[in-house]
Amino acid sequence: MTHDQTVMLMDEFAKAFNRHDRAALVSMMTEDGIFDASTGPESFGTRHAGREAVGKAFAAVWETYPDAIWDNAKHTAAGDRGFSEWTFRGTDKNGNRVEVNGVDLFVFRDGKIATKDSFRKNRVK
């Protein structure tokens, strides 16, 4: 993929997140795609492997934060790697508002996302 194609893929991926479009998101990932969430019991967070597991993980975020949005996305690519900087905003079902900055690290293969590794700030109130 060219630099521009890679950046366009990351941009379309961010737009699909903001539409809460599970089908579009998983279609942009490889069949064996991996999503490493920001939180979880392992050093890499919680790992979701394969399109079905990744899709369920994304849907769980929208269930927890029905108004979730990843705002101000800025994408950079180099070869088969890329990263996106963003601000996550959402309100959980109890009315608690969240706003944190974060970064996703990507690995690309065959024109799709093979790995999405998410990192974010942890705000303590």
Q: CATH no. for residue 51?
A: 3.10.450.50
The rounded mean pLDDT for the chain is 93
Q: Is residue 21 part of a domain?
A: yes
Question: Could you tell me how far CA 58 lies from the centroid of its own chain?
Answer: 8
pLDDT over threshold 90, residue 67: yes
Q: Is residue 125 part of a domain?
A: no
Q: What pLDDT does 125 receive?
A: 61
Question: What are 9-18's pLDDT values in tens digits?
Answer: 999 999 999 9
Range of the domain at 8: 3-120
Q: Is residue 31 part of a domain?
A: yes
Q: Is residue 83 part of a domain?
A: yes
Please tell me the least confidently modeled range out of 51-60, 74-83, 114-123: 114-123
Report the pLDDT averaged over residues 89-96: 93
Q: Is residue 35 part of a domain?
A: yes
- Residue 22: what are its φ and ψ, rounded to 5°? -60, -45
Q: What pLDDT does 47 receive?
A: 92
Q: Is residue 25 part of a domain?
A: yes
Question: What are 25-51's pLDDT values in tens digits?
Answer: 999 999 999 999 887 778 778 899 999
Please, what sign has the CA dihedral across residues 39, 41, 43, 47?
negative
Q: Is residue 65 part of a domain?
A: yes
Q: Is residue 92 part of a domain?
A: yes
In our burial notation (b when 16+ CB lie closer than 10 A, e otherwise), range 5-39 reads ebbebbeebbebbeebebeebbebbbeebbbbbbe
Read off the pTM.
0.90
Tell which residue, 22, 9, 1, 2, has the closest CA to residue 75.
9
Q: What pLDDT does 103 receive?
A: 97
Number of domains comprising the chain: 1
